[in-house]
A and B are shown apart, each in its own frame.
Chain A
Amino acid sequence: QKEVEQDPGPLSVPEGAIVSLNCTYSNSAFQYFMWYRQYSRKGPELLMYTYSSGNKEDGRFTAQVDKSSKYISLFIRDSQPSDSATYLCAMKPYSGAGSYQLTFGKGTKLSVIP
């Protein structure tokens, strides 16, 4: 079992839909959680960064963390064609050796259809 599991999709939704992207993890040492967006032939771009259980909102994006279930989510409201990309979850420990090292999911490829 990989430390971070993410459904690779692809996921196709109509414009304006609410999108839910999810990751589960097995390592309880992970304390910091990130979502990156990666457009085709580009590098990953940080979207959201959170370290506490609960919700964090930024515009149309909401990151949700449930440490008790080892489950994180990214919600995209009013999805736009420009949101079409691969979304990668990433996480790292709080401190100690390797605290900088990000463990990524495989990424979920999202297409928003006009």
Chain B
Amino acid sequence: EAGVVQSPRYKIIEKKQPVAFWCNPISGHNTLYWYRQNLGQGPELLIRYENEEAVDDSQLPKDRFSAERLKGVDSTLKIQPAELGDSAVYLCASSLIWNIEETQYFGPGTRLLVL
């Protein structure tokens, strides 16, 4: 079974440029998460989707970040414009919601460097 797929794996951009990250969750997983992991820190939730609905985006900086999950499968996270402080690893995770354990499976992440 294929795991969570993310692309690109690495991205270097100049500040004020836009950037987008793509995630394809594990087949059949209806719940999708985007996390940001700063260097030396644990992942922090940005947004959670149940199917195509964003059910928790309270920690997404909405002035510059946006996300979508069309058709309830793939998802895209966008930053526009990027700032130096956005340099981090952006992780996508997916899970099945139907039990309390709801184990989250993570992708390899996109490592973003903003210059």
Contact = CB atoms under 8 A, between A and B. Distances in A.
Interface string B61-81: 000000000000000000000
Interface in B46-102: 48, 56, 91, 93, 95, 97, 100-102
Interface residues of B, number: 25
B100 A104 contact: no
A44 B109 CA distance: 9
Q: How large is the interface on A (under 10, 10 to 19, 20 to 34, 35 or more residues)?
A: 20 to 34
Q: Is the interface of B mostly helix, strand, loop or mixed?
A: loop
Interface stretch (A62-70, A75-83, A94-102): A94-102
A104 B111 contact: no
Nearest to B109: A43
The 7 closest A-B pairs by CB, nearest first: A104-B42, A43-B106, A44-B106, A43-B108, A43-B107, A43-B109, A88-B42
Interface of B: 4, 31, 40-45, 48, 56, 91, 93, 95, 97, 100-109, 111
15 contacts: A6-B42, A41-B108, A41-B111, A43-B91, A43-B93, A43-B106, A99-B100, A100-B95, A101-B45, A101-B56, A102-B43, A104-B43, A106-B40, A106-B42, A107-B40
